[in-house]
Amino acid sequence: MTLQQTIAEYLKYTGQKGLDISAALIDCDGVLYDSMKYHTQAWVKLMKKNGIKCTRDEFYELEGMTGSEIIKMKFKTGAGKNITDDEAKALYGVKTRYFHELGEAPVMPGAKRVLEALKDHNIERVLVTGSQQDSLLERIEKDFPGLFGEAKVTGHDVRKGKPNPEPFLKGMNKAEKKANQCLVIENAPLGVQAAHAAGCFTIGVTTGPIPEKDLYKAGADLVYKNMDELAAALPSLLVALSMIKA
Ligand code: CA
């Protein structure tokens, strides 16, 4: 499919008359940081300690849900236990400790280039993540100085994690943008689903084990192999995405 056809498809299924991208809603884990391998390892350790069978791959599939949603679901299906909010919070604290014990997750190669390309084209950058991991959120200003504005959505702001569109709808709201003014950068199927449901132009990046076809199936408009490939494509992509005014 050509880029023109991709854009035509987007306009058709959203019912939008035009596209006028002026903000990018950007996911954190697996997009800005190569942190998913640590998260999945920490999740498996938490589950095994509680006698719940699981594989790391499952947690790549669940990426985007809030920590407490994952805990409640896995304890219910894996051990028949109903977990209260307080218990979920405590268990998430344990998972966070395991995550930290694995060391600092590296910055994703190409992430800075993507943010700089967006800034060069006057596209506002808004962080939208289900993460409640404050240490990672605090690192962002240090690792990407001046590349994010005040507007951001974290796991502390949302009631429903991805695939619910709430995180992206909140991001749009905070940036005072409409769906056809926002593109989303996501690596996880549930994140892509959420962005698609919010009506944003959705870009997937396959930075983990999830194949390209799964991101398209979840509703991605475009999928790139990694953040470097996206950074290289952005200048011409942003021109194309700003040419269809309503
Ligand atoms: Ca992610």
- How confident is residue 131, by pLDDT bands cut at 50, 70 and 90? confident
Are 85 and 113 members of one domain? no
Å from CA of 5 to ligand 1 middle: 27
In contact, 32 and 148? CB cutoff 8 Å = no
The domain tally of the chain equals 2
Q: Residue 203's pLDDT band (boundaries 50, 70, 90)? A: very high
The reported pLDDT for the residue numbered 215 is: 98
Q: How confident is the model at residue 148 (pLDDT cuts 50, 70, 90)?
A: very high
CA of 123 from ligand 1 middle (Å) equals: 20
Domain containing 84: what range? 36-101
Ligand 1 centroid distance, CA of 149 (Å):
20
- Note whether 78 and 156 are same-domain residues: no
- State mean pLDDT over 44-67: 95
Q: Is the pLDDT of residue 210 over 70?
A: yes
Distance (Å) from CA 30 to ligand 1 centroid: 5
User: Do residues 167 and 219 both lie within one domain?
Assistant: yes
Is residue 73 located within the same domain as residue 164? no
Distance 94 CA to ligand 1 centre (A): 21
Q: The domain spanning residue 229 has which CATH number?
A: 3.40.50.1000
Mean pLDDT, residues 82-92: 97
Query: pLDDT tens digits for 1-31?
Result: 899 999 999 999 999 999 999 999 999 999 9
Distance from residue 187's CA to the centre of ligand 1 (Å): 5
210 & 198 share domain: yes
Average pLDDT over residues 122-127: 96
pTM: 0.95
For range 227-239, the mean pLDDT: 96
pLDDT above 90 (res 245): no
Whether residue 246 has pLDDT greater than 70 = no
Distance from Cα 215 to the centre of ligand 1, integer Å: 12
* 130 and 202 inside one domain: yes
Same domain, 229 and 168: yes
